[in-house]
Amino acid sequence: MDPKKRSSDKATQEMLERMYEAGIENAWDRLEQQEPQCGFGRLGICCRNCAMGPCRIDPFEEGPQAGVCGATADTIAARNLVRMVAGGAAAHSDHGRDIAHTFKLVVENESSDYMIKDERKLKEVAARYGIETKDRQIKEIARDLSEAVMTEFGKQEGTLISASAYPPPARQKVWKEFGVTPRSIDREIVEIMHRTHIGVGSDYKNLVKQGLRACLSDGWGGSLIATELSDILFGSPQPIRFGANLGVLEAKQVNIVVHGHEPTLSDIIVAV
């Protein structure tokens, strides 16, 4: 085992050596156990979206060139790609949904352990959503914003408010021209699962276009909501000097590593 072939990061290389000596398995070990990986899968030309599969396309054109449903290599590859987009957008945007629920808890519950730490950011975000902020109580503004962001996940008509309140007009124009302006976060994810089911979407260009719309619903919807509400609840980030990489671990004390990508838990643990 050569750790330099597995990572260019020196701290990771050292940790890999320790794990090897201790007999602890890691992702690189499991990857080697998979070799050789499925060639059809690596090319994206196998499909198991329905019970008549799995189907595969022969890349050398000597075997099947379509699945049972008639899907070609382009269709199968596009379906596989956009289903991965749906999974990623669902996971990423659900971070935003969780923080939106926490924000709603703060608004509705006076005894909540969470609180609004950045009132300036609250007013700034509320204004982007068309919410009046002048001469209003913070909780009133927060309540209106909470309702607005929760609606972004499952709205049935129109497009995302955030997709028109944040991006430059020139970018919005491009989205409109290509027909990829995101409507609601959950809707775009559901539509991917619908279109990639047997007997539905077969045009790989339209499938990929729907994948783009779902990406935008996450980036300018769920992910943006998570970022903005995190600033409001936990305070807008400020640059600090601190350790990095495995250097954040202290050798002579118990270290509790909390995933900070969704900070609702880590923030309260630090406060305690």
Spatial contact of 133 and 127, defined as CB atoms under 8 Å apart: yes
Q: For residue 270, is pLDDT > 80?
A: no
| In a domain? residue 157 | yes
| Residues comprising the chain, all counted | 272
Report the DSSP beta bridge partners of residue 55.
Answer: 47
User: Range with the lowest mean pLDDT among 153-167, 230-244, 258-272?
Assistant: 258-272
What is the DSSP secondary structure assignment for residue 65, as one 8-state letter?
Answer: S
For residue 213, being part of any structural domain is answered with yes
Residue 202 is part of which domain span? Answer: 75-237+249-271
The pLDDT value recorded for residue 271 is 67
Burial 213-228 (b: 16+ CB within 10 A, else e): bbbbbbbbbbbbbbeb
* Residue 59 within a domain: no
User: Which segments of 49-203 does DSSP mark as H helices, in order?
Assistant: 73-108, 119-128, 138-154, 162-165, 169-178, 185-195
Q: Is the pLDDT of residue 258 over 80?
A: no
Q: Please, which residues bridge with residue 56 across strands?
A: 46
What's the whole-number mean pLDDT along residues 196-221?
95
CATH of residue 128's domain is: 1.20.1270.30
Q: Is 32 within a domain?
A: no
Q: Three-state SS for 203?
A: coil
Contact 18, 249 (CB under 8 A): no
The residue-averaged pLDDT of 71-86 equals 96
The answer to the question of residue 80 being in a domain is yes
Q: Does residue 42 fall inside a structural domain?
A: no
Domain membership flag for residue 169: yes
pLDDT in tens, 47-60: 999 999 899 999 99
For residue 241, the model assigns a pLDDT of 87
- In a 3-state reduction of DSSP, which class is residue 40? helix
- The domain total for the chain is 1
Nearest partner of 154 among 212, 73, 96, 229, judged by Cα: 96
Is residue 47 one of the residues assigned to a domain?
no
Give me 62's structure tokens. 């000597």
Report which residue type is found at 87.
G
Which of 225, 233, 255, 209 minimizes the C-alpha distance to 160? 225
Q: Do 180 and 219 touch, CB atoms closer than 8 A? A: no
- Give the separation between CA 270 and CA 259, rounded to whole angstroms: 12
Average pLDDT over residues 119-136: 96
pLDDT of res. 265: 76
Burial class (CB in 10 A: 0-12, 13-18, 19+), 164: middle
State what percent of residues in the chain have pLDDT above 70: 98
Structure tokens at 71: 């899907």
47 pairs with which residues across the strands? 55
